[in-house]
């Protein structure tokens, strides 16, 4: 067989012209370059997208950071306000404790127990203060004729008219006719008697707890029998009626119809509160004080917390008086 020769229609690479080869190379290069540009463009677009997403995330994180910072600043300011308020409360508490200490000292209350709350201490002080105020309102105290001169005391004396030695059951205050006379405590007018003999024009005031006071030689009355009067009420004016050597007021205090020396009652005030109980032995002060204390304690409980303990400590003067009464 004869050897087949290549077909003339399929030229070999060797037979290709240089221009054809160059065009092929250029096409390959262009394709490669385009591929590279395409890949680079895609990569850049992908990086741009990632950067954009990262920027958005960064903005969100920044906004959250600002919100957290603002919240932290607000909480810091609130904490500062709370700390300042707490400091103010502590300062106020110290001042309150000091005031309660001062009040307890003035009222003669024994030092409080370690487990006693401020509310209990305030209640105790309030009760003792109210007890004193109640006693000053109900039991005669102070001079019925302010600034009048005391001319005759309580006890046995020689009567200035009869010249006989006789018991003087009250105090005499020299006062011009028409000097005002004031009620030394709350009372009801038990008697308003007009007379030209003996004690002359006389008023009798019935106070509470068995105390009675009387006012003699008056010029005229400003109240009527059966009338209720408050402490400090103008009840009449001094005079020179009855058996009298000159214008004056004869003032008596009685307890269960027994005459008491009015001088301790005239001098009795908040500064010498204990003195009356020591000087006047004819009154069972411990029993009286405990009664008043119970009344006031109940009032405090009714106006305060119903869960408070009703066994509130009484004032030291009550305990001292009770001890004196037992002795």
| Per-domain boundaries in the chain | 117-141+269-327, 143-267
pLDDT of residue 110: 59
* C-alpha–C-alpha distance, residues 158 and 229, integer Å: 35
Beta-bridge mates of residue 171: 251
Range with lowest mean pLDDT among 102-106, 226-230, 232-236, 323-327: 323-327
Arithmetic mean of pLDDT over the chain: 80
Give the residue with greater pLDDT, 323 vs 179.
Answer: 179
The radius of gyration of the chain from alpha carbons, rounded to an integer in Å, stands at 53
pLDDT above 60: residue 306: no
The CATH topology of domain 143-267 is Glucose Permease (Domain IIA) (2.70.70)
pTM: 0.60
Q: What mean pLDDT do residues 12-32 have?
A: 71
The reported pLDDT for the residue numbered 290 is 87
**Cα atoms in the Cβ-side hemisphere of radius 13 Å centred on 6:** 6
* Residue 218 near residue 236 (C-beta atoms within 8 A): yes
């Amino acid at each position: 067989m004869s050897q087949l020769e290549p077909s003339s229609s399929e030229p070999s690479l060797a037979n290709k012209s240089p221009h054809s080869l160059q065009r092929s190379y250029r096409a390959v290069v262009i394709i490669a370059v385009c591929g590279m540009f395409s890949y680079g463009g895609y990569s850049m677009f992908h990086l741009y997208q990632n950067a954009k997403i990262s920027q958005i995330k960064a903005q969100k994180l920044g906004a959250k950071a600002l919100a957290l910072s603002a919240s932290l600043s607000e909480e810091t300011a609130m904490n500062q306000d709370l700390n300042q308020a707490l400091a103010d409360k502590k300062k106020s508490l110290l001042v309150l404790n000091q005031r309660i200490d001062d009040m307890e000292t003035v009222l003669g209350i024994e030092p409080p127990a370690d487990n006693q709350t401020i509310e209990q201490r305030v209640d105790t002080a309030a009760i003792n203060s109210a007890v004193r105020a109640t006693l000053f309102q109900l039991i005669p105290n102070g001079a019925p004729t302010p600034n009048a001169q005391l001319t005759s005391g309580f006890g046995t004396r020689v009567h200035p008219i009869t010249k006989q030695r006789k018991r003087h059951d009250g105090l005499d205050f020299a006062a011009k006719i028409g000097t005002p006379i004031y009620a030394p405590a709350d009372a009801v007018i038990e008697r308003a008697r007009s007379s030209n003999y003996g004690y002359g024009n006389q008023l009798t005031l019935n106070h509470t707890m068995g105390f009675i006071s009387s006012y003699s030689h008056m010029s005229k009355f400003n109240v009527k029998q059966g009338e209720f009067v408050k402490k400090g009420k103008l009840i009449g004016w001094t005079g020179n009626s009855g058996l009298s050597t000159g214008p004056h007021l004869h003032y008596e205090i009685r307890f269960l119809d027994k005459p008491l020396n009015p001088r301790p009652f005239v001098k009795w005030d908040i500064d010498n509160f204990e003195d009356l109980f020591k000087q006047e032995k004819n009154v069972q002060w411990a029993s009286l004080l405990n009664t008043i204390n119970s009344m006031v304690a109940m009032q405090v409980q009714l106006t305060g917390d119903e869960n408070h303990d009703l066994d509130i400590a009484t004032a030291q003067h009550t305990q001292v008086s009770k001890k004196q009464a037992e002795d």
